[in-house]
Amino acid sequence: MCDLFKRELLFKVLVIGDFGVGKTSIIKRYAEGTFSTKYKITIGADFALKQIDWDSETRINIQLWDIAGHERFGYLTSVYYRYAVAAAIVFDLTRPDTFVAVSKWLNDLRDKVSLPHGKPLPVIILANKGDVAANKVPVQIEEFCKKNQIVSWYITSAKENRNIDSAMNRLILEALENQ
């Protein structure tokens, strides 16, 4: 019966980054609790839903958008970014070039979307595949985050389910504060 009094929010969260860094795996892990080593190339936009009872008054429907094959262009259309309230930029710890690309993804994001009141979207960085390369964190990451107003960064593993929930929770918290 308490459901009657709950506020229900819909958060569109973008998961972006280069091809093969683990975006789809992170989304699957977070929304479905599964992991697969099979490469799946989906074409077109794709999203997963996860419902969280954040507190006794708040239910959040998180819509995680997977860029699903559009990575190869290196940018996205504004339509894709529209109405998003937060973003996770993912790179692969085993491939340093994917960290270099984080800056490109961030620029694309900031160019094309901001919150209704003009504030920039909260962004986190996920250094993924921490199960195989946790020792390969780029030395510049801390400075990069500070310089670019990144909320926080995490070493994650979609394979071993490391840090994905805590990273997403942090992002949701930021989005809630912007409500």
Residues that bind Mg ion (CB under 5 A): 24
- Selection from ligand GDP, Mg ion, none that 19 binds (CB < 5 to 8 A by kind) is ligand GDP
By beta-carbon proximity to Mg ion, the closer residue of 20 and 138 is 20
> Looking up tokens 């919150």, which residue turns up?
115
CB atoms within 10 A of CB 40: 11
Q: How far is the CB of 82 from Mg ion (least distance, A)?
A: 20
Q: Using CB atoms within 10 Å of the CB of residue 57, give its burial: 0 to 12 exposed, 13 to 18 middle, 19+ buried.
A: exposed
Give Rg (Cα) of the chain.
16
Give the relative orientation of helices 164-177 and 23-32 as an angle to the nearest 10 degrees: 80
- Least spacing, CB of residue 162 vs ligand GDP, in Å: 8
The answer to whether 3 touches 75, Cβ cutoff 8 Å, is no
Least distance between Mg ion and beta carbon 171 (Å):
19
Are the C-beta atoms of 5 and 73 separated by less than 8 Å? Answer: no
In terms of CB distance, is 89 or 151 closer to Mg ion? 89
| Residue with nearest beta carbon to Mg ion | 24
Residue 129 or 170 having the CB closest to ligand GDP: 129
Q: Which is nearer to ligand GDP, 60 or 162 (CB)?
A: 162
